[in-house]
Amino acid sequence: MRTYVLDASALFALLEGKPEATKVKELVKEAIRQHCRILMSTLNYGEVYGLLLRRGKSQERALQVMSAIGPLPVELQDVTRQRSFRAAELKVNYKLYYVDAFAAALAIENKATLVTSDSDFRKLGHKFPILWLKTS
């Protein structure tokens, strides 16, 4: 079964109803049918909450939006010591933001495809497959 890792940009696009969310919606449908798994680091999940707040949502509204994710087939993965070390190595070696490095570490660990629109992941080359939500 194929496994996908969402970074914050992928989930944020879905929550905001952005055009690039079409691919994420398709993956969610596939996961509901149990044809794939969708993972996300709790760190990247928290980043989405922060993005909502930064974009002017009240804390109450941001929490409501985040609670809408509950029924989705997204498996949140906690930060482990080993994952935090791998993320730190990726941060240093590829000059990624630390929070982005957690999405990359989770994708590597699970031999998964990273789902993102964040061009910073291009720095990783071909460490793992990437499903780009937009080409810019």
Alpha helices in the chain (DSSP H): 8-16, 22-32, 42-54, 59-67, 81-94, 98-109
Inter-helix orientation angle 98-109/42-54, to 10°: 140
Q: What is the pLDDT of residues 29-82, one digit of tens each?
A: 999 999 999 999 999 999 999 999 999 999 999 999 999 888 999 999 999 999
Q: pLDDT band at residue 126, thresholds of 50, 70 and 90?
A: confident
Q: What is the pLDDT of residue 135?
A: 55
Question: Rounded mean pLDDT of the chain?
Answer: 94
pTM for this model (two decimals): 0.93
Percent of the chain whose predicted confidence (pLDDT) is above 70: 99
Query: Which residue from 105, 37, 102, 99 is spatially nearest to 74, judged by alpha carbons?
Result: 37
Domains of the chain: residue spans and CATH:
2-132 (3.40.50.1010)
Mean per-residue pLDDT, 89-116: 96
pLDDT for 38: 98
88-101 pLDDT per residue, tens: 999 999 999 999 99
The model's pLDDT over 10-22, given as tens digits with 9 standing for 90+, comes to 999 999 889 999 9
